[in-house]
Amino acid sequence: MLDSECSVKRVMVVVGTRPEIIKMAPLIRALHCSKIPSTFVHCGQHYDYNMSQQFIEDLELPKPDYGYKIKAYTQGTQTARIITHMEHLLKKTSPALVLVEGDTNGVLATALATAKLGIRLGHVEAGLRSFDLRMPEEHNRRLTDHLSNYLFAPTKTAESNLKTEHVWGKIYVTGNTIIDAITQHLPIAERKSKILNSINFEKFALATAHRAENVDNLAVLKGFMEAFAEAPIPVVYPMHPRTKKRLKQNQTYAKIKKTRNLQILPPLGYLDFLVLMKKCEMIVTDSGGIQEEATAPCIRKSVLVIRLSTERPEAVQAGFAEVVGVEKQKILEGMRKTLKHPKQLPTVSPYGDGKAAEKIVGIIKEELAF
């Protein structure tokens, strides 16, 4: 246990997957700068080095005070195991406030454990809605929002979703900490990353795909791989372990790896990925965070969202993102159109000015009288 863990009033910051580490990093730093005592917990949803520890190192975060690894096969088991160990940890440490970020199973599990013990909960990136109930993320985010005492909505649209649903907690519009993270790290990435030395193409599109409703559907996964292989520009694709596992299960990974127009990489560290985002001609993705990052003034890239919906309509309205669906021909059409008619993209992000973490910490200070 940390020094006098129970007697000192602390904020517990909980992460579990790579986007949570990235988006919580600016908050961990801002809490430290404000001298608010905090505990850093990795709840264990992502466990491989290149999905967890690599980000803690890239972002120069302290080692988690408590870390777990959950290797579970079903969504339910994963969620249940995280509830069990988070309940134990919360009982042991009694934080004044728990902060979670986003829409993962680890977020919902932590929110449930926190609420059952009557501990206050703050939800960073509250209020996003895809209205696509096939997605576990939609359930996780809605339920967490309804359990939270403090809801840090990144935009007015997110705030409006929360008001429509009559959530119980207090809502604050803060911007998204991803803009803080990218602003703080791109200059370091450009100095330190050597990733461009290992990229086979001068000009390329950057692709990622990992959503369960996409890559766990064999027809959709096949369409994605064919679209990337036949794309009008070479594609660089750092592959998520879920996707690699599915391709291996279908005995197609070895063949796809040999495709000339497509360079498959392992999941990359944040600094390398930022450099690829900065350098690419366009982004093709089903990621949530990448839709936001593309709008950062230091990145400004067109994004084709290979999904049926998005919980980031602000990126679409601002002209950065287009939801093209999941069919091969639609993806190829979208890529051709983006290359032929490059857009003049806005110079401001709808996700804030890079000061979201500072704002959130200011609110915490006031609300909890730190």
Using CB under 6 A, list all residues that contact ligand UD1: 17-19, 45-48, 51, 78, 103-105, 136-137, 210, 212, 241-242, 245
Residue 290 binds which of ligand UD1, ligand UDP, none (CB < 5-8 A, kind-dependent): ligand UDP
- Residues 191 to 210 in contact with ligand UDP, rule: CB under 6 A: 208, 210
Could you give the count of Cα atoms lying within 13 Å of 320 in the half-sphere of its Cβ? 25
Alpha-helix runs per DSSP H in the chain: 18-33, 53-58, 75-93, 105-116, 136-147, 156-164, 177-192, 212-215, 218-229, 241-249, 253-257, 270-279, 289-293, 313-317, 328-340, 356-368
Q: Is there binding between residue 238 and ligand UDP (CB under 6 A)?
A: yes
Residue selected from 64, 267, 334, 354 as contacting ligand UDP according to rule CB under 6 A: 267
Residue selected from 204, 270, 320, 351 as contacting ligand UDP according to rule CB under 6 A: 270
Q: Is there binding between residue 154 and ligand UDP (CB under 6 A)?
A: no
- SS3 state of residue 99: strand
Q: Is there binding between residue 287 and ligand UDP (CB under 6 A)?
A: yes
- Please give the DSSP secondary-structure letter assigned to residue 109: H
- Residues 44 to 63 in contact with ligand UDP, rule: CB under 6 A: none
Closest CB 321 distance from ligand UDP, rounded Å: 13
Q: Which of 69, 67, 59, 68 is nearest to 28 (CA)?
A: 59
Residue with tokens 């795909």: 209
Residue 154 binds which of ligand UDP, ligand UD1, none (CB < 5-8 A, kind-dependent): none
Taking the C-alpha atoms of residue 46 and residue 51, their distance in angstroms, rounded to an integer, is: 6
Closest CB 294 distance from ligand UD1, rounded Å: 16
Taking the C-alpha atoms of residue 85 and residue 2, their distance in angstroms, rounded to an integer, is: 17
Closest CB 53 distance from ligand UDP, rounded Å: 13
Q: Is the separation of the CB atoms in 12 and 97 below 8 Å?
A: yes
Closest CB 73 distance from ligand UD1, rounded Å: 7
Residue 242 binds which of ligand UD1, ligand UDP, none (CB < 5-8 A, kind-dependent): ligand UD1
SS3 percent helix, strand, coil of the chain, rounded to 5, is: 45, 15, 40
Q: Which candidate in 32, 139, 146, 210 is catalytic?
A: 210
Q: Which range, of 81-89, 112-120, 183-191, 287-295, touches ligand UDP by CB under 6 A?
A: 287-295
Q: Which is nearer to ligand UD1, 222 or 242 (CB)?
A: 242
- Please give the DSSP secondary-structure letter assigned to residue 198: G
Residue selected from 108, 112, 113, 290 as contacting ligand UDP according to rule CB under 6 A: 290
Closest CB 100 distance from ligand UDP, rounded Å: 13
210 among known catalytic residues: yes
Q: Which is nearer to ligand UDP, 81 or 301 (CB)?
A: 301
Closest CB 291 distance from ligand UDP, rounded Å: 8
- Please give the DSSP secondary-structure letter assigned to residue 266: P
Q: Is there binding between residue 11 and ligand UDP (CB under 6 A)?
A: no
- SS3 state of residue 20: helix
Q: Is the separation of the CB atoms in 9 and 90 below 8 Å?
A: no
Q: Is there binding between residue 289 and ligand UDP (CB under 6 A)?
A: yes
Taking the C-alpha atoms of residue 59 and residue 62, their distance in angstroms, rounded to an integer, is: 9
Residue 293 binds which of ligand UD1, ligand UDP, none (CB < 5-8 A, kind-dependent): ligand UDP
Residue with tokens 């961990």: 28
- Dihedrals phi, psi of 321, to nearest 5 degrees: -115, 150
Q: Catalytic amino acids?
A: 210
Residues contributing to the site for ligand UDP (CB under 6 A): 18-19, 22, 208, 210, 238, 267-268, 270, 273, 287-290, 293
